[in-house]
Chains A and B, each alone.
Chain A
């Protein structure tokens, strides 16, 4: 019984991206860029950041799935990317949360320092 991960290449030929997929993806990406710019002109307050990041995440997903052909690759490669993003989000989320919590005491201290 040969181990599927042992020293062989993929059983089928490698997936070649079609011109339609390539141009289509590029087109959608450029379109989404335009959307990002347009939406930023509308003042949604806090939601602006969320929307902009969501569109960016969508664009990044398209680049990863198609240009980086993750859609056609072994599942483990997707795990690698997703894992790195999960840990990245963990770092950002925990640090952001913490910093907003202790900012109050920093500002208090700065205010006191200014009045001295």
Chain B
């Protein structure tokens, strides 16, 4: 009996799962089980989202009045710096790959774990240490340099201990990211089951593979930059500080050589989630599989060629400005290819409007706007007046929060039954999706308008003409926050009182849905045989309790 079974997957009968295999704090903190590591990442990632979100709400409250007033200008600068640093390094970059990817990747490969479980645990502890250091940075008084940490300002003595802690945190989180990339790429190369050639991989794995390439190539440059900044500050080496003979623009080149590809570390896994969900919830195989797979690699590679578009007004030479502007136009193309393929997948599909799909639909609208506004900023002439205005802020929030966070929520709801063995509360999920989408747009659309009208970013006060935009934005931020609280309620409430989840609640065809919900410690008793990851033939919905089952071997 190949590939199909109406019997419950092993482990389900005894109530044994990876959650009960081994008890006690140490069995979690020192676990080599990718599922437990994924859950631990999820806890810290979520806490970081919460912390960064609290900072955001404080910022938006402060900006209710043109003259500010909630906090001092200095405190405001520290708030937006830590908001950015915590969100980017602790939530958006690791969110999907580390929290969801760690859990799902081996399951989608029909494997028992990632290639290097001990390295995986090391990755987690490096990340956790980085998170702790960011919190300590807060405690010692914070930094007010902006998350981009540009010298000379950031490396002056007057910045205190905070910058050294922040640079160390960045280094540790970066090292974590590199090792995760190594693990994922090696796993995808070496742990595929019989029947799963490269073009039978679920697209989430193609996305994680492309992400891994970026993690390995780009992140070390951030690491060395952090180390150089650290040494420059302590020993006055004169690498970046002009007063000691250094070049601050050099820091920007290094910083953005990582940080631009980093945004593709953020978006590629999100796109992977979207590919999975859109196919399953349209009950249709993904359209243009090879195009989506190849475009992931294209985004990873082209993404390395555009970093200078963050430096158009930093003194970069005009030839580099031209080159980077042109190359930036190119990087939009593979993303557009994906959008068309996703929409074509939905066309004439049998759309199921459950929470994961709602978040994905939201993603389409928001990512389109975010991506298109990136073109305004990539074009040299239009970037000059828009640089450092709220237009930029709105653009990157559309892609980082709108696209990535919504895809994260889609993935979290989609895989929640697998991870926890419980369904989340669907109605609350729908409410959360609506609130998040509405709140998000109300927050950030006015920021585009304010930016075009000239409101500068990173300012604690603003001209009264921008008051209405700011107030609408603040209201939106609280709606968004409420939506996230409702999402949390839906998920955690599901843990307490949600229906027990079947192995395959959604009728998906990739291998993780052949494992029990939640999976046993070893995932699978024997390596499953892979069929097509989007081949829904023969899958029938039996009941809420039993979920979907493939009724006959193909």
* Residues in B whose Cβ lies below 8 Å from that of A83: 213, 217
Given A5-B190, A87-B217, A94-B320, answer yes or no on A99-B304 (Cβ-Cβ < 8 Å): no
- Specify which chain B residues have a CB less than 8 angstroms from the CB of A46 in the assembled complex: none
In the complex, chain B residues whose CB is within 8 Å of the CB of A94: 253, 308, 320
> How many positions in chain A have a CB within 8 Å of any CB in the partner chain?
20
Q: Report B-chain residues with C-beta under 8 Å of the C-beta of A2.
A: 194
Chain B 203-246: CB-based contact to A (< 8 A → 1; otherwise 0) = 00000000001001100010000000000000000000000000
The docked-state distance in angstroms from the alpha carbon of A5 to that of B217 is 24
CB < 8 Å neighbour of B194 from A3, A76, A99: A3
A98 touching B317, Cβ below 8 Å: yes
Contact residue among A3, A90, A98, A101 (Cβ-Cβ distance under 8 Å from B196): A3
A69 to B439, CA, bound (A): 57
Closest to B319 in A: A101
Which residue of the partner chain A has the closest CB to B196? A3
Check B249 against A102 for contact (C-beta < 8 Å).
yes
What's the nearest-Cβ distance from chain B to residue A90, in Å? 7
Question: Which residues of A in the span 59-115 have a Cβ within 8 Å of any Cβ on B?
Answer: 76, 83-84, 87, 90-91, 94-95, 97-99, 101-102, 105
Count of chain B residues with a beta carbon within 8 Å of a chain A beta carbon: 28
Chain B's nearest CB lies how many Å from the CB of A78?
14
Nearest CB of B to A52, in Å: 23
Of A3, A91, A99, which one neighbours B221 at CB under 8 angstroms?
Answer: A91
Q: Is the CB of B320 within 8 A of A5?
A: no
User: B315 touching A102 by the CB < 8 A rule?
Assistant: yes
Cα–Cα distance between A94 and B221 once the two chains are bound (Å) = 14
Contacts A84-B217, A87-B217, A94-B308 known; A101 to B317 CB distance under 8 Å? yes
Do residues A90 and B304 form an inter-chain contact, with CB atoms below 8 A?
yes
CA A80 to CA B51, docked complex, whole Å: 38
Query: Please, which residue of chain B has its CB at the minimum distance from the CB of A96?
Result: B253
Q: Is the C-beta of A18 less than 8 angstroms from some C-beta in chain B?
A: no
Q: Closest residue of chain A to B218, judged by CB?
A: A87
Q: B249 contacts which of A1, A7, A99 (Cβ < 8 Å)?
A: A99
* Structural contact, B194 and A102, CB atoms closer than 8 A: no
Q: Whole-angstrom distance from the CB of A80 to the nearest CB of chain B?
A: 9
Question: What's the Cα separation between A34 and B192 when bound, in Å?
Answer: 48
- Complex interface: chain B residues within 8 A of A84 (CB): 216-217
CB nearest to B323 among chain A residues: A94
List B contacts of A3 (CB < 8 A). 192-197
A7 touches B320 (CB 8 A): no
Q: Does B247 contact A (CB under 8 A)?
A: yes
B316 within 8 A of A: yes
Within 8 A of B (CB), among A1-25: 1-3, 5-7
Prevailing SS type, chain A contact patch: helix
**Pairwise interchain contact A5-B257, C-beta atoms closer than 8 A:** no
> In the complex the two chains form, what is the Cα distance from A7 to B308 in whole Å?
42
Chain B residue, CB-CB nearest to A83? B217
B140 at the interface (CB under 8 A from A): no
A101 CA to B315 CA in the complex, in Å? 10
Query: Residue on B with the closest CB to A100?
Result: B317
Complex Cα distance, B253 from A34, in Å, reads 36
Q: How far is the CB of A14 from chain B (nearest CB, A)?
A: 16
B351 within 8 A of A: no
Chain B residues with CB under 8 Å of A91's CB are 221, 253, 257
A24 to B247, CA, bound (A): 44
B254 proximity list for chain A (CB < 8 A)? 95
B191 is an interface residue with CB less than 8 A from chain A: yes
Taken together as a complex, chains A and B put the C-alpha atoms of A6 and B305 apart, in Å, by 34
Known A5-B189, A76-B189; contact A95-B217, beta-carbon cutoff 8 A = no
B253 touches A95 (CB 8 A): yes
Residues of B within 8 A of A101 (CB): 317-320
Contacts of B250 in A (CB 8 A): 95, 99
Q: How far is the CA of A32 from the CA of B537 in the complex (A)?
A: 63
Are B253 and A7 in contact (CB-based, < 8 A)? no
Check A6–B192 contact: CB distance below 8 A.
yes
Per the bound structure, the CA–CA distance linking A1 and B192 in Å amounts to 13
Known: A76-B189, A84-B217, A90-B304. A98 touches B316 (CB 8 A): yes
Cα distance A58–B493 in the bound complex, in angstroms: 63
A to B CB contacts below 8 Å, 7 in the list: A7-B191, A83-B217, A87-B217, A90-B305, A91-B257, A97-B319, A101-B320
> Can you add 15 more A-B contacts, CB < 8 Å, to A6-B193, A83-B217, A91-B257?
A3-B197, A5-B189, A76-B189, A83-B213, A84-B216, A87-B217, A87-B304, A90-B304, A94-B308, A94-B320, A97-B320, A98-B308, A98-B317, A99-B247, A102-B249
What 7 pairs across the A-B complex have the smallest Cβ distances? A101-B317, A98-B320, A95-B253, A87-B217, A102-B317, A98-B317, A102-B315
